[in-house]
């Protein structure tokens, strides 16, 4: 699916960049819309063998994503403004929690198996405001 977008000639504006920026039209770094992001989530879910019950992209204040044991997935709408590599990181991160509920050694090895040096992607994620509990 991603290759399909890479091969297109048309370029798409990347949110947050000015029209005067020579690099403002990139292909395929940014998500075109919510539906494209959801398709990517479903591709990863299929690849990882995760059954999803519901999938939403909505504003979230303090996290990039959340999941429930019932198969519900929610992703922060701000992810649509980030490049696809970071989106893949958050998608895989969340889907792996269906198998491993924590960030222990098993979770880390699965992240590495699917994304390679995932730590560099984590470091590139912009910080979200901390929750009241963390202050």
pLDDT per residue over 87-105, tens digit each? Answer: 999 999 999 999 999 999 9
Say which DSSP state 25 is in.
Answer: E
CA dihedral 31, 36, 42, 48 (to 10 degrees): -30
Q: Where are the alpha helices (DSSP H) in 14-104?
A: 34-48, 84-96
- Residue 119's SS3 state is helix
Bridge partners for 83 per DSSP: 30
pLDDT in tens, 3-50: 333 333 334 444 444 454 444 444 457 888 999 999 999 999 999 999
Q: What is the largest CA-CA distance in the chain?
A: 47
CB atoms within 10 A of CB 115: 19
Question: What's the CATH superfamily of 33-125?
Answer: Metalloproteases ("zincins"), catalytic domain (3.30.2010.10)
Q: What is the pTM of this model?
A: 0.76
> 3-state DSSP call for residue 87?
helix
For the chain, give the mean pLDDT: 81
Give the whole-angstrom CA distance, residue 77 versus residue 68. 18
Domain segments of the chain as ranges: 33-125
Phi, psi of 64 (to 5 degrees): -85, -30
């Amino acid at each position: 699916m991603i290759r399909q977008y890479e091969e297109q000639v048309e370029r798409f504006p990347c949110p947050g960049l000015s029209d005067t920026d020579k690099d403002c039209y990139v292909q395929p770094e940014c998500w075109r819309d919510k539906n494209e992001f959801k398709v990517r989530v479903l591709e990863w879910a299929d690849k990882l063998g995760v059954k999803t019950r519901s999938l939403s992209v909505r504003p979230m204040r303090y996290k990039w994503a959340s999941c429930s044991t019932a198969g519900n997935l929610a992703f922060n709408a701000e992810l649509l403004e980030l490049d696809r590599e970071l989106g893949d990181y958050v998608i895989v991160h969340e889907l792996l929690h269906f198998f491993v509920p924590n960030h222990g050694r098993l979770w880390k090895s699965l992240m590495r198996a699917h994304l390679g040096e995932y730590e560099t992607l984590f470091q590139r994620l912009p910080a979200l405001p901390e929750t009241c509990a963390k202050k």
